[in-house]
């Protein structure tokens, strides 16, 4: 039986950093589900398609061959390395629009489940503990104060704080208020506010939960 660790939370709360470290530590596969929404958004933008166009977006999501390689460090879309291209600000915005479309979510959730049912995974996103793997062994809701998230993202991309703040707010609002699989904290998820915590402290808190939840019959190295 594969083990699933689900890490959900808003943008720039530190999910990728922590999920990647946990996966390396436990020998699990790291899956960035947001990269899949970004890949579909990138494809749409290259095809000059409107990311709100339900029909076309669903077709792209179904047709997209998205693979994560090198422990999740590289994202391939139809065989092409799009690791950097999917991080562009306009792709972030388009991804949050694409992610509101039910048909797109169905297609990508299916891909995520296929990976998680065969491998021990640490999967991060918005709906992993609520929709993709409601029976995940460990669920974490990783949060951070808005100012802290803006500060981190601005440092990461070396961008203008005002603009980043506005983009983050817009995306948060869309992720939380959409009808299909909105970002919500599950009652059985560990809530962690990473503001003022070091990466080591966040990692340790999650590892404690992993050790407590995962026992007989489900082994990890
Ligand atoms: O985590 P991220 O910023 O790379 O995600 C990009 C967009 O995809 C974001 O606006 C939310 C959406 N997303 C989602 O709806 N469900 C997921 N499981 C992961 C991401």
Angstrom distance (rounded) from CA 215 to CA 14 = 27
Pick the CATH number of 4-203 from 3.40.50.300, 1.10.3470.10, 3.20.20.70, 3.40.50.720: 3.40.50.300
Model pLDDT, residue 66? 97
**Residue whose CA is at the smallest distance from ligand 1 atom 9:** 96
Model pLDDT, residue 195? 95
Model pLDDT, residue 214? 83
Among 90, 95, 106, 170, say which to mutate for ligand 1: greatest number of ligand atoms within 8 Å of CB: 95
Model pLDDT, residue 220? 56
Angstrom distance (rounded) from CA 122 to CA 114 = 14
Model pLDDT, residue 215? 66
Model pLDDT, residue 189? 97
Model pLDDT, residue 219? 52
Angstrom distance (rounded) from CA 140 to CA 190 = 5
Beta strands in the chain (DSSP E): 4-8, 29-32, 66-69, 74-77, 80-81, 121-125, 138-143, 190-193
Among 99, 131, 179, say which to mutate for ligand 1: greatest number of ligand atoms within 8 Å of CB: 99
Among 4, 30, 75, 96, say which to mutate for ligand 1: greatest number of ligand atoms within 8 Å of CB: 96
Domain parsing of the chain, residue ranges = 4-203
pTM of the model: 0.94
11 CA to centre of ligand 1 in angstroms: 8
Model pLDDT, residue 120? 95
Residue 213, judged by CB atoms within 10 A of its CB (0-12, 13-18, 19+), counts as: middle
**Residue whose CA is at the smallest distance from ligand 1 atom 18:** 125
Instruction: Give CA angle at 54 (93, 111), nearest 5°.
Output: 80
* pLDDT digit string, tens, across residues 19-60: 999 999 999 999 999 999 999 999 999 999 999 999 999 999
Ligand 1 atom nearest residue 92's Cα: 6
Q: Does ligand 1 have an atom closer than 6 angstroms to the CB of 175? A: yes
For the chain, which ranges sit under pLDDT 70? Answer: 1, 215-221
């Amino acid at each position: 039986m594969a083990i699933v660790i689900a890490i959900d939370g808003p943008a720039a709360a530190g999910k990728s950093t922590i999920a990647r470290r946990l996966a390396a530590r436990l020998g699990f596969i790291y899956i960035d589900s947001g990269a899949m929404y970004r890949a579909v958004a990138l494809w749409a933008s290259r095809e000059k398609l409107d990311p709100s166009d339900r029909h076309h977006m669903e077709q792209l999501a179904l047709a997209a061959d998205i693979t994560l390689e090198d422990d999740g460090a590289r994202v391939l879309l139809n065989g092409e390395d799009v690791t950097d291209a999917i991080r562009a600000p306009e792709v972030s915005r388009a991804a949050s629009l694409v992610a509101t479309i039910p048909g797109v979510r169905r297609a990508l959730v299916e891909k995520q489940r296929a990976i998680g049912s065969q491998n021990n995974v640490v999967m991060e996103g918005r709906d992993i503990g609520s929709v993709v793997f409601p029976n995940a062994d460990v669920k974490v809701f990783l949060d951070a104060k808005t100012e802290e998230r803006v500060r981190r993202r601005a440092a990461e991309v070396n961008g203008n704080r005002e603009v980043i703040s506005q983009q983050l707010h817009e995306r948060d609002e869309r992720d939380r208020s959409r009808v299909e699989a909105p970002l919500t904290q599950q009652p059985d998820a560990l809530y962690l506010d990473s503001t003022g915590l070091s990466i080591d402290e966040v990692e340790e808190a999650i590892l404690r939960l992993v050790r407590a939840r995962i026992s007989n019959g489900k082994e990890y190295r």
